Structure 1
């Protein structure tokens, strides 16, 4: 989704968009995933990457995007499945614009269902399989209503077991180790504020660092460094919402200083942290 100017109005987040015709509405927040519905009349968003799955449905128009080096066009009824850390953009494929719903789910949540199997990968990023459309309905319908916790868990389980069935088993070259990757993830979460090297992760997991780096991409969809950076940026945003300055938030999150944080913030969200802060201060 575009990360322009964000302001909070109760549980609704309104985003400053390329056109006055455009809009984005967020569903009530849950602790496990993010859901939204949006309309764009022409340009939607510039190239960017999530460290989550982005799974959605085109509701009207033609949703065009560049993904893995090729132009893609999603039509109403088709389901999008964008793999973590894959760059993509978005724009209308015709003059009528496009409307869609999207949800964002972390690889960690996927692994609670997959139990150490490689993350499913849908080639091309678009599915017309009715099994997967049915599996997403529970999470993509009625965004204005909060999800019941048990309903949400059941829907997530159905989503990833179906995605695994639709995509098939992912072939992995060479041996890989989920336990090592998961231990590295926990180590990073426990040590966000201190410098961490791949050698540190290798030592704590007992896995050689190059194999561990490959393991992490297989099971969590991104590199250890990018995972660590995104979790630190999450901490920066939470600190700013709590009233702390960018300088304080940067250091507390584990960045060297504010400028170090700013470089990563722009790459991740497409906007400077200073502009982001100005926007959330607006009534």
Structure 2
């Protein structure tokens, strides 16, 4: 296995080791197939997938939140003086600068994905009503909403994350951590329908191209994280998903008129047909090709 360096900022050898040292995975791996897959960084957020057996990481700490999901096996680690266990589907939340180790709890090994989130990025996404850094005492939680947000951040390690999607993901993660930190809920903010409708109109007018967060800030008069919260409050979804669904709606109409799948993908702003097909199936439960055949038959 090729040696890979993982920074201490990341949370280290899968973060394990001592501050700033490079890690030789060949030395750390205890069984065939053990390894750490490091994804391209996304706006300062690091993401990995780890597959390992046995006790893998010695006690260490890092200065980021380590937030992830166990995918297979049992994840075991020492954290704040106690033995912890995470089963498939559970969310792991490690606070910055807290010492922990890590490994597989059974002989079948362990697979999980993790993101390393700088505290300052989290603070920016928190509601203005509370700017304190949330501390979650329980490092393993069951929370479907938080699991979905973390899953969206780490599900595609081959590519980056769309800017509007990342804004929404960070808001949902921040709200999840805030929720599990046990902090008293703040008074709900008033819905800003004007700003949301201005942003949604701008998105509909620009379906064929990527739309940046700064553009929506200028249009709505709200910062990107406030807009993400307000958008969900008013329209029940995020700016990123709103734009994606309007693109898919237009593409579906084009296909029903007999236009090609490739042409529909290109004219509605998708990077390529594979990207278009993946999102179409996720939204409608069938491929664009299948939709085309059914639309013609209908």
Q: With the length of structure 1 as denominator, give the TM-score of the two structures.
A: 0.54
- 2:91 is matched with which residue: 79, 85, 96? 79
- 2:119 is matched with which residue: 107, 122, 127? 107
- Unaligned stretches of 5+ residues in structure 2: 1-14, 186-298
Q: Verify the 8 A CA contact 2:134 2:178 in the aligned structure 1.
A: yes
Across the two proteins, how many residue pairs are aligned to each other? 165
Deviation at 1:76, TM superposition (A): 0.3
Q: Verify the 8 A CA contact 2:146 2:172 in the aligned structure 1.
A: no
Q: Residues 246-275 of structure 1, C-alpha deviation per residue, up to 9 Å, x if partnerless?
A: xxxxxxxxxxxxxxxxxxxxxxxxxxxxxx
Deviation at 1:170, TM superposition (A): 7.0
Which structure would you say has the larger RCO, counting Cα contacts within 8 Å and 6 or more residues apart?
1
Residue 140 of structure 2 is matched in structure 1 by 126
Residue 201 of structure 2 is matched in structure 1 by none
Deviation at 1:5, TM superposition (A): 5.0
1:23 partnered with 2:35: yes
Task: Point out the structure with the larger strand share.
Answer: 1
Shift in CA distance, 20/97, structure 1 to aligned 2, threshold 3 Å: closer
1:156 partnered with 2:170: yes
Q: Verify the 8 A CA contact 1:66 1:89 in the aligned structure 2.
A: yes
Residue 75 of structure 2 is matched in structure 1 by 63
Q: How does 1:150-189 map onto structure 2 within 5 Å?
A: 150-169=164-183
In the alignment, the residues of structure 1 paired with residue 121 and residue 114 of structure 2 have an alpha-carbon distance, to the nearest angstrom, of: 17
SS of corresponding position for 1:151 = helix
Q: Residues 158-190 of structure 1, C-alpha deviation per residue, up to 9 Å, x if partnerless?
A: 11022212333179xxxxxxxxxxxxxxxxxxx
Shift in CA distance, 74/34, structure 1 to aligned 2, threshold 3 Å: same
SS of corresponding position for 1:152 = helix
Range that drifts further, 23-32 or 59-68 = 23-32
Q: How does 1:1-283 map onto structure 2 within 5 Å?
A: 1-3=15-17, 6=23, 16-21=27-32, 22-114=34-126, 115=128, 117-169=131-183
- 4+ residue stretches of structure 1 with deviation over 3 A? 3-7
Deviation at 1:118, TM superposition (A): 1.9
Q: Residues 83-125 of structure 1, C-alpha deviation per residue, up to 9 Å, x if partnerless?
A: 1111000011111111110000011111112245222222220
Deviation at 1:40, TM superposition (A): 1.0
Q: Based on CA coordinates, which of the two structures has the bigger radius of gyration? A: 2
Q: CA RMSD in A?
A: 2.1
